Chains A and B, each alone.
Chain A
Amino acid sequence: MIKKDRPGITIFYCINSFRQPEKPILEDCDIKYIKMPCSSMTKDVYLLRAFEAGADAVMVLVCPEDACRYAEGGKRARKRIEWVRGILDQIGMDGERQLAIYNIVSGDDKAVKEIIKKTLEGLKEIKKSPEKHV
């Protein structure tokens, strides 16, 4: 469960594009990692439930589009992200800022760190997650 005293991000990641670091990437946020054998496992209800569990933002890290081991995992994930973004927008959340997908080259932890920083910046500009308003 994500704590409520600072921003929370849930990261769904394909194990072929990213590995959960042993040390925190950033100190000023809570990050919950959920690994997937392939980003094609990205599912709408899991993304929404991450928000229900207190995440302010949800990120999905996938392989570069032409490098998916299972051919089209990233493409499927991207479609589902778009679908869930539409749902978030309908309920007054900010689909674009609160839910994002990134193509990551395996081992590029620096890029992930920058993405998280950018996400945190985006979060400052929008309302906190519904869970944190309760």
Chain B
Amino acid sequence: MITGEQKPVQEILEIVKPYKNILILGCGTCVKTCFAGGEDEVAVLASALRLAYKRDGRKIQVKEFTIERQCENEFIQESAAEVAQCDAVLSLACGAGVQAMAKRFEDMPILPGVNTTFIGIQETEGIFTEECSGCGNCELANFGGICPVTRCAKKLMNGPCGGSQDGKCEINPETDCAWNQIIDRLTKLGQMDNLKKIIPPKNWNTSLSGGPRKLVREDHII
């Protein structure tokens, strides 16, 4: 999933400053799972904004609404009636959701309330880790399902570097060494021969480094 965290309330207060009637729009998929932009977070932020404005003697109308996904037009459509009644939307979706909303509602300011962080998983309750960089050329099959592009600080494709200690990364001792994990996993799978392969330099053309990407599925285009 895409992970994110809500912007500090003070920053959000600055962002919504020019507006008197805002809709806080939650997204019920990824950002809900990481407690950044689901229905609950919408309610908390709305309450915090109302309290902040009352404290300063200012007035603001804050409405709350959450749709299943802000990155798909079919779901975005469900918010149209609510959007029509406000003068700005504070979106608690990821950056994709914010931009999808902006495309759909051309005349409406769509403001970001969340900092999108990474593609990751919930490792344990309340802890999310980055697992995928979306490089566009997945090589997980070589590495026992553990991504050195994302999880090795040096992005080594032919590791390990030799600097890890007690299974921890020498760059950040709080981070597990990805190559230590790769070796453990390949050992369990009986695939240690994978390490004998020389992985050629990675072609980054498929990554964001080559500019914004577009995925085309001809069979779905009429």
Q: A interface vs B, CB < 8 Å? A: 43-45, 48-49, 51-52, 87-88, 90-93, 127, 130-131, 133-134
- Other than A90-B10, A92-B52, A130-B54, give 18 A-B pairs with Cβ distance below 8 A: A44-B40, A44-B44, A48-B51, A51-B47, A51-B51, A52-B47, A87-B44, A90-B48, A91-B9, A91-B51, A91-B52, A91-B55, A93-B51, A93-B55, A130-B51, A130-B52, A131-B54, A133-B55
CA distance A48 to B41 in the complex (A): 12
Assess the A134–B47 pair: CB atoms within 8 A.
no
Q: Which of A44, A45, A49 has the most CB of B within 10 A?
A: A45
Chain A interface SS verdict (over half): helix
Interface range, B side:
10 to 19
B45-95 residues with Cβ-Cβ distance < 8 A to A are: 47-48, 50-57
Q: Given the complex, which residues of A lie within 8 Å of B57, measured CB to CB?
A: 133-134
The smallest C-beta distance from B27 to any residue of chain A, in angstroms, reads 17
Q: Given the complex, which residues of B lie within 8 Å of A134, measured CB to CB?
A: 54, 57
Q: B interface vs A, CB < 8 Å? A: 8-10, 13, 40, 43-44, 47-48, 50-57
Q: Given the complex, which residues of B lie within 8 Å of A91, measured CB to CB?
A: 9-10, 13, 48, 51-52, 55
CA distance A127 to B55 in the complex (A): 9
The smallest C-beta distance from A25 to any residue of chain B, in angstroms, reads 26
Closest 3 CB pairs of A and B: A130-B55, A130-B54, A91-B52
CA distance A45 to B13 in the complex (A): 18
Q: Given the complex, which residues of A lie within 8 Å of B8, measured CB to CB?
A: 90
CA distance A127 to B54 in the complex (A): 13
The smallest C-beta distance from A76 to any residue of chain B, in angstroms, reads 11
Name the residue of chain A whose CB is nearest to the CB of B11.
A90
Assess the A52–B55 pair: CB atoms within 8 A.
no
Assess the A92–B9 pair: CB atoms within 8 A.
no
A48-B48 CB under 8 A given contacts A90-B8, A90-B9, A90-B10: yes
